[in-house]
Structure 1
Amino acid sequence: MRKSMKKLFLLVVAAALVLTSFVTPSMSVYADGLDIEAESAILVDAETGKVLFAKDPDVALPPASMTKIMTEYLVWEAVENGDISWDTTTQISDYAYEISSNDDFSGVGLRQQQDYTVEDLYKAMAINSDNATTIALAELIAGSESEFVEMMNAKAEELGMPEYKFVNSSGLDNESLGDNYPEGTSPNDTNLLSARSAAILGSALVNDYPEALEISSVPSTEFDDQEIRNWNYMLDHDADYLQQHYYEGVDGLKTGFTTVAGYAFTGTAERDGRRLISVVMKTDSEDARFNETAKLFDYGFDQFETQELFPAGYQEEGNETAPVARGKEKEVNIGINEGIHVPIKTGEEDLYHLEYKIDEDRLNDNGELEAPVEADEVIGTVTVVYDGEEEDFGYISDEASQESYDLVAMDSVEKANWFMLTLQSIGDFFVNMFQGAFNWVKGLFS
């Protein structure tokens, strides 16, 4: 009996070991995909616009204070255009003061009848996410928040943001603004952005105005003789209890929270010359938005590398030439005259090929290029095609897409003179006649 029990025990242990060998992962968690605990998320390579990861990125959700990234962009644009300067001063309206004095919004405590510079107001907005200073800047730039909202929506369209709705400058729900909600909106309105749109906006800010990162990266600063803190805990804060979320390379951008929006964060980090933009929306807690962002950054920096997939002068095998009509040569070498750099997963360098598309306007009825053809002349486009099994998320937008590159003629083909064209025509005539005769004879014996 004891021997039987012992044998049974050993069989159970052996079976357990076999099963464990099947279920224990032998590779990184990224091999099977990335599990992000947010309703919507996206990770983008800032330089190329290549999307490295996406989870329901086109669902429009309340962005809360991530709305302020658009206000920041318009402030930088106004300074660049000379409409205002960083030293321009303004005073606080009754509306902005009412928001600032509301304890529910934890503002910096603005005072009326006091001059504030654009620089000070901007820092309070970008670092401390202050709502009243945001409103004050909107009123200064556009005359009223209502007109500023029109500017926000126009800029969103210009930037190619697919899903957006701006109803105020701060990101608060309109019902929090009392009777001050902007004209053209309703008291129940709220701002809406998709993760993709938020990433487009964040990318536009860091690419068009990289100086903005010098401010968004400040953990804390002084405002009106008080210390104000950055709500981005992934920065290098002095407080020990905030260090748990510190992430090397993070220098922006904007957190967001309302009861409706949950906890959101548009982040950016740079390592070894590579910058990533991340967005997580509607996470469950303050910790979660930073934990999920860290997962995204780990994935992007650890698993991807920007490489030159195809060097200048590369010709896709089987598509090295294109036919030429009425030229001194009957074909021309074609390919790319600039190297193609793409962020790719490590080990997937050989899982890409190029597809050529010659501009139809350049072709005659027989599908030939018409001579003359100049070297380096653009004759069409080249598309990078991924042949791997994992999902390819494409690019953040059509405007940012670098999937298409120039297809060029590698050599020059001069137009043949009338004599050469005549000889070619005679040669083609006899070739066609011989081919026709050959096919006729072949048909007699088939």
Structure 2
Amino acid sequence: MKQKIQAALIVVMAFMISFTTFFVQPEHTYAQVDLGAKSAILVDAETGKILFEKEADMTLPPASMTKMMTEYLVLEAIEEGKISWDTTTQISDYPYSISANPSFSGIGLTQNKDYTVRELYEAMAIISDNATTIALAELIAGSEGEFVKMMNEKAEEMGLPDYQFVNSTGLENADLGQNVPEGTSPDGINQMSARTTALLAYHLVKDYPEALEISSQKEIKFEGHQDQNLNWMLPEMPGHLAAFGFQGMEGLKTGYTDMAGYCFTGTAERDGQRLISVVMKTDSKEDRFQQTRTLMEYGFTQFETKELYPEGFQLEDEETAAVDKGKEDEVEVSTATALKTVMKKGEDDQYSIEYKWAEDKLNKSGELTAPIKKGDKVGTAQLVYNGEESYGNIFDNKTGTQSVDLVADETVEKNNWFMLMLGAVGDFFSNIFTSAVDTVKGWF
């Protein structure tokens, strides 16, 4: 009898625990996506808002995703007029030796022949050719060693949180023999976290959208060969690869080494919303694309860009701000533009707004100082997320804060000198009176 009672109690307790867990445990965004990748991240490409992450700060070898930094520096050199798409260069012994090695994705370059920057860039971006990548690095910086310095300097300028660049390609320095870039270690390995990789991709897409025009090409014709893009997720790929196609996919970079495993940085756009995903250290070519699909579908189906506060919005009970030295004692304020955000569907009520006044516009009493012109920025209206999920941002590794300008809706002119003098005199006697009252109170 006693054993039956104990058994019954155990059943009841188990039920109560499961009941409590079901109804009380908060929902976590990250638990809704099951990924086998060792590290992954999904971000909104407009705001940098993180929609999903898994060990996103773990530093791992990025393999050929390293080439995104090389792409950026090539496009920057074109923008600055240092080279052009039609600039030609020849192949030195180092990239030629890499090209002749079938283990290094060599496309088969020829020496004593002119190649255009466009030809080399397309081979790098579309089929991840290592030799053409090195040739571009040498063209821009004179040597790969000097180019690596540029890569690390640009990474610091971008604010990338976790990185180490030791070559332009993503190969391991140990595989380069006598061609290890000067200033780097013979056993050096490129290192990036998924967060860093996503931020690098963000800068590449934002600053040079033409990169997507090339990364979205389904094939390349080079040196008499026709090769298919290594990104199988591009829509309408030929043959059996069509099964991997994903609507809106335009890039960005695959990667593989024995140490890095199979990696992929993808970007897709649907209905004006662009997402960037990174998966690192997956098990196969197919796996990296399947996991990217899982992330992308989650982002596009569960999140939306929505206008939460329209242009001209006024916070209740803060429609006006006090004004000092003006012909009016207050001024109406409102948002200069609409405030939109990427949000999980159904979370509208989890957001609020608060004002942050511009300190240089305030006096010691916290009042705006006249004169104020209509349209003057007097602060910002910041979006506040009040929910349980902790959506970070790739820009600062913290919860991102979105804001729009808070502006004056009318002009308040400065009072003339006589009225200002009367006000000063009034303030003087008011202060004397207040001091006298305080003194008398002190006697008692």
Shorter-chain TM-score: which interval? 0.7 to 0.9
Please give the alpha-carbon distance, in whole angstroms, between the structure 2 residues aligned to 1:59 and 1:365.
47
Aligned to 1:373: 372
Matches within 5 A, 1:304-319: 304-319=303-318
On the 8 A contact 1:53/1:393 being kept in 2, the answer is no
2:314/2:335 contact within 8 Å kept: yes
* CA offsets 1:288-345 (integer angstroms, 9 cap, x no match): 2111111111122112221221111112223222222222222222231111121112
User: Map of 1:205-354 to 2, 5 A cutoff?
Assistant: 205-236=204-235, 238-354=237-353
- Shift of residue 127 of structure 1? 0.8
Q: What is the percent sequence identity of the aligned residues?
A: 57
The one-letter code sitting in structure 2 at the alignment partner of 1:370 is: T
The separation in 1 between residues aligned to 2:325 and 2:221, in whole angstroms, is: 74
- Residue 125 of structure 1 and its aligned partner are, at CA, apart by 0.9
Task: State which drifts further: 311-320 or 415-424.
Answer: 415-424
Amino acid across the alignment from 1:37: G
Closer, same or farther: CA 31–132 of 1 in aligned 2, 3 Å: closer
Letter of the 1:149 counterpart:
V
- Which shifted more, 199-208 or 410-419? 410-419
1:143 corresponds to? 142
1:337-379: per-residue Cα shift (whole Å, max 9, x none)?
Answer: 1111211122222321122221233322222222222222122
Q: Which amino acid aligns with 1:214?
A: E
For each residue in 1:397-426, what CA deviation from the matched residue of structure 2 results, as whole angstroms up to 9, or x when unmatched? 489966233222222222223444466567
Q: 2 CA distance for matches of 1:377 and 1:88? A: 48
Deviation readout 1:68-113 (Å, 9 max, x if unpaired): 1111111112222222222222222111111111122232122222
Distance 1:314 1:330, change over 3 A: same
Which structure 2 residues correspond to residues 8-27 of structure 1 after superposition, within 5 A? none
Match of 1:357 in 2: 356
CA-based RMSD of the aligned residues comes to 3.3
Q: Is the deviation greater in 428-437 or in 418-427?
A: 428-437
After superposing the two structures, state which structure 1 stretch, 420-429 or 312-321, moved more: 420-429
Query: 1:80 aligns to what?
Result: 79
Give, in angstroms, the shift of residue 384 of structure 1.
Answer: 1.0
Which is worse superposed, 342-351 or 254-263?
342-351
| Cα pair 1:51 1:396 within 8 Å, conserved | no
Task: Identify if the C-alpha distance between structure 1 residues 84 and 189 changes in structure 2 by more than 3 Å, giving closer, same or farther.
Answer: same
Residue 312 of structure 1 aligns to which amino acid in structure 2? E
Q: Which amino acid in structure 2 is aligned with residue 157 of structure 1?
A: E
In structure 1, the partner of 2:4 is none
Distance 1:399 1:52, change over 3 A: closer
Residue in structure 2 matched with residue 152 of structure 1 by the alignment: 151
* Equivalent position amino acid for 1:382 in 2: A
Q: 2:242 is matched by which residue type in structure 1?
A: Q
**1:169 aligned to 2:168?**
yes
Residue 49 of structure 1, CA deviation: 2.4
**In the alignment, does 2:188 pair up with 1:189?**
yes
User: What secondary structure is seen at the aligned counterpart in 1 of 2:313?
Assistant: coil
TM-score when normalising by structure 2: 0.86
Provide the secondary structure at the position in 1 that maps to 2:184.
Answer: coil
Question: Shift of the alpha carbon at 1:122?
Answer: 1.3
Q: What is the alpha-carbon distance in structure 1 between the residues aligned to residue 428 and residue 85 of structure 2?
A: 76
Structure 1 residues 241, 215: CA separation in 2 closer, same or farther (over 3 Å shift)?
same
Unaligned runs of 5+ in 1: 1-15
Taking structure 1 as the reference length, the TM-score comes to 0.86
From the superposition, tell whether residues 373 and 245 of structure 1 become closer, same or farther in structure 2 (CA, over 3 Å): same
- Show the counterpart of 1:69: 68
SS at match of 1:350: helix
User: Which sits farther off after the overlay, 303-312 or 171-180?
Assistant: 303-312
Structure 2 alignment gaps of length 5 or more: 1-14
Number of residue pairs aligned between Structure 1 and Structure 2: 426
Cα distance 1:306–1:409, how it changes in 2: closer, same or farther (>3 A)? same
CA deviations over 1:256-283 (Å, ceiling 9, x no partner): 1111111111101111122111111122
Instruction: Please list the CA deviations of residues 142-163 of structure 1 after superposition, one character each: whole Å capped at 9, or x if unmatched.
Output: 1111111111112112222122
